[in-house]
């Protein structure tokens, strides 16, 4: 696949329509208006296309400076991320996304960037331990108080009363609910302690409840595989506009 990053304001309506069509392949229907409104709340977009130019995936990103308890940090908030199921064996999303995040970090002249995301599916949550050494919440460590403060602050700033701090989840007015057969967790996958933890911490995921997650994205905080994806992605976006 071929990836490119562009500003959301530069996305044409035909591309938005293709994205919406791809979104509906995996999620229950929401209106194009709601889909577009959510997209316009982000400022960057990663597009993945097949060699023939057909859209095969996308991930919207909102990059911004946040201040928590007097500490300034560069945050990358993940919006809708969808990749055609027929391409799931291809790791293009991983290295292109890493490359895009590294490009945005360099663009903002930051040493590191922090990944703030909402997770309603176990597949997305499983990306965290695969690529990051420093992510929360997790089954094998208590979330440090300072990290929890960051997560609570960012979630409250963006979602207000829709954020249940005690549960650590966001319940949206218009949730993105996975279609069958993407919805739910196969019983055998619960043998994975990370997935079992996700199921326990977000029991309402079938209804679209979103678990608030946070990770530090920098080369020294990635797993070995994460660093490979990071370096591969950096080469792809070395001359990004």
What was the pLDDT predicted at 64?
Answer: 97
Q: How confident is the model at residue 89 (pLDDT cuts 50, 70, 90)?
A: confident
Mean pLDDT within 55-78: 94
Helix axes 32-40, 13-26, angle to 10 degrees: 110
Percent of the chain scoring above 70 in pLDDT: 99
101 closest CA partner among 61, 161, 149, 41 = 61
What was the pLDDT predicted at 87?
Answer: 85
Q: Is the pLDDT of residue 238 over 80?
A: no
Q: What is the pLDDT of residues 106-116, one digit of tens each?
A: 999 998 899 99
Mean pLDDT within 126-136: 95
Q: Is the pLDDT of residue 239 over 80?
A: no
- In SS3 terms, the chain reads as CEEEEEEHHHCCHHHHHHHHHHHHHHECCCCHHHHHHHHHCCCEEEEEECCCCCEEEEEEEEEEEEEECCEEEEEEEEEEEEECHHHCCCCHHHHHHHHHHHHHHHHCCCCCEEEEEEECCHHHHHHHHHHECCEECECCECCCHHHHHHHHHHHHHHHHHHEECCCCEECCCCCCCECCCCCCCCHHHHHCHHHHHHHHHCCCHHHCCEEEEEEEECHHHECHHHHHHHHHHHHHCCCCC
Q: How confident is the model at residue 240 (pLDDT cuts 50, 70, 90)?
A: low
Domain ranges of the chain: 61-236
182 closest CA partner among 84, 112, 36, 110 = 84
Distance (Å, whole) CA 37 – CA 44 = 14
Q: Is the pLDDT of residue 180 over 90?
A: no
Predicted structure pTM score = 0.93
90 vs 165 pLDDT, higher one = 165
Mean pLDDT within 68-93: 91
Would you say 85 and 26 are in contact if contact means Cβ atoms under 8 Å apart?
yes
Q: List b or e across 204-222, with b for residues whose CB sees 16 or more CB atoms inside 10 angstroms.
A: ebeebbbbbbbbbbbeebb
Q: Mean pLDDT of all residues in the chain?
A: 93
What was the pLDDT predicted at 241?
Answer: 53
Mean pLDDT within 203-223: 94
Task: Output the six-digit token pair for 36.
Answer: 């577009």
Mean pLDDT within 217-229: 92
* CA-atom Rg of the chain in angstroms: 17
What was the pLDDT predicted at 69?
Answer: 84
Q: Phi/psi of residue 141, each to 5°?
A: -150, 145
Q: Is the pLDDT of residue 216 over 60?
A: yes
13 vs 219 pLDDT, higher one = 13
């Amino acid at each position: 696949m071929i990836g490119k990053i562009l500003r959301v304001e530069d996305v044409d309506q035909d591309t938005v329509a293709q994205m919406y069509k791809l979104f509906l392949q995996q999620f229950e229907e929401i209106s194009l208006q709601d889909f577009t409104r959510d997209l316009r709340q982000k400022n960057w977009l990663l597009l993945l296309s097949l060699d023939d130019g057909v859209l095969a995936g996308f991930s919207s990103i909102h990059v911004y400076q946040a201040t928590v308890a007097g500490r300034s940090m560069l945050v990358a908030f993940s919006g809708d991320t969808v990749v055609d199921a027929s391409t799931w064996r291809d790791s293009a999303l991983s290295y292109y996304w890493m490359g895009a995040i590294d490009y945005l970090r360099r663009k903002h002249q930051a040493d590191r960037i922090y990944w703030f995301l909402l997770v309603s599916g176990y597949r997305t949550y499983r990306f965290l331990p695969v690529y990051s050494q420093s992510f929360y919440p997790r089954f094998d460590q208590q979330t440090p108080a300072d990290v929890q403060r960051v997560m609570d602050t960012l979630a409250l700033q963006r979602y207000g009363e829709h954020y249940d701090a005690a549960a650590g989840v966001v319940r949206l007015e218009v949730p993105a609910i996975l279609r069958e057969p993407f919805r739910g967790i196969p019983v055998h996958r619960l043998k994975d302690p990370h997935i079992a933890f996700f199921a326990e911490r977000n029991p309402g995921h079938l209804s679209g409840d979103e678990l608030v997650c946070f990770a530090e994205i920098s080369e020294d905080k990635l797993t070995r595989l994460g660093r490979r994806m990071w370096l591969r992605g950096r080469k792809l976006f070395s001359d990004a506009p």
